[in-house]
Amino acid sequence: MKKMSLRNPLLLFLTAVIWGVAFVAQSVGMEYVGPFTFSFTRCMIGGLVLIPCIWLLDRLKKGETREPKTAGDRRTLLAGGICCGAALCTASNLQQFGIKYTSVGKAGFITAMYIVLVPVMGIFLKKAVGLKVWVSVALAVAGLYLLCITEGFSVSFGDLLVLLCAFVFSVHILVIDYFSPKVDGVRMSCIQFFVCGLLSGVCMLIWEKPDLHAILQAWMPILYAGVLSCGVAYTLQIVGQKGMNPTVASLILSLESVVSVLAGWLLLGQNLSTRELSGCVLMFAAIILAQLPQRKKL
């Protein structure tokens, strides 16, 4: 029997840690710059970081590169990058605005709702949805109620924005699912970051007043979000998922929501009430259940 290596699970766990802590970077960064400015700078940096990653991965594949060879391949790659970039721009900026009005931990868990929403939205693509998914949705809704609904039965503005972000991230994942078998994933990600950055840049020029001095003051959270969260973590995910059971990989990556709560507590002093922590537990249970494989019929 072949001994299972711990290398790939550790790479995916590191990815989850980087993404979880990125919620803190996003929160701190907006103490200096506006949401669109933050998204513009982080995505442009992320796209630049992936350029040498593409070169390196091409060399490591030793002739197995998925570089587009025909005009049709290039059009498909460009279309995928533009569609993913537009969805990512909408989702990430909704998240960025939402973090201004809610805690890092709550934002992390509500964002993780996309793992439950993806199979539900698959109904519209005529994909079968079993009982397990509906139970996951029920758990997630109960968790969201405890996490977001106050005693006066109201949802905060920040929670609503992050929930909308989770819906758009679901669309983003379905778009990736459509294009990823046809193109090289890292190349498409590089294009999507540049598209997201350019779209955010247009919004930045219209609604914000970008200040180079403020951007330089926020250099640490911006570099973390751009280099580590966008560039490094995405590459680690690509390498770590290779040869792994996708269910196990998704479960490990979903730990980013737990890390976001811990990071908000340790780095920002953001504590959650017992009620909110109970909501986190229910949502995490929904995330895990949604990723468990269906039992094969005999």
User: What are the boundaries of each domain within the chain?
Assistant: 23-291
Instruction: Please state, in angstroms and rounded to a whole number, the distance separating the CA atoms of residues 75 and 91.
Output: 24
Highest-pLDDT range among 8-17, 95-104, 220-229, 268-277: 220-229
pLDDT at residue 2 greater than cutoff 50: no
Instruction: Please state, in angstroms and rounded to a whole number, the distance separating the CA atoms of residues 161 and 106.
Output: 12
Q: What would the mean pLDDT of 218-236 be, rounded to a whole number? A: 90
pLDDT at residue 65 greater than cutoff 60: no
Please check whether residue 18 is in contact with residue 232, taking contact to mean a CB–CB distance below 8 angstroms.
Answer: yes
pLDDT at residue 216 greater than cutoff 50: yes
Task: Please count the other Cβ atoms lying within 10 Å of the Cβ belonging to residue 14.
Answer: 16
Q: Is 62 left (phi over 0), alpha (psi -120 to 50) or beta?
A: left
- pLDDT per residue as tens digits for the range 169-184: 888 888 887 888 888 8
Instruction: Please state, in angstroms and rounded to a whole number, the distance separating the CA atoms of residues 21 and 224.
Output: 9
Q: What is the pLDDT of residue 183?
A: 86
Q: What is the pLDDT of residue 226?
A: 94
* Residue 48: both structure tokens together: 């630049």
Give the distance between the most distant pair of CA atoms in the chain.
Answer: 65
Percent of the chain with pLDDT over 90: 36
- pLDDT per residue as tens digits for the range 230-260: 888 877 887 777 666 665 677 677 778 888 8
- pLDDT per residue as tens digits for the range 19-49: 889 999 999 999 999 999 999 999 999 999 9
> What is the residue-averaged pLDDT of the chain?
84
How many residues does this entry show for the chain? Answer: 298
Classify residue 231 by its DSSP letter. Answer: I
| Rounded (10°) CA dihedral 18, 190, 188, 240 | -30
Instruction: Please state, in angstroms and rounded to a whole number, the distance separating the CA atoms of residues 196 and 90.
Output: 8
Instruction: Please state, in angstroms and rounded to a whole number, the distance separating the CA atoms of residues 44 and 201.
Output: 10
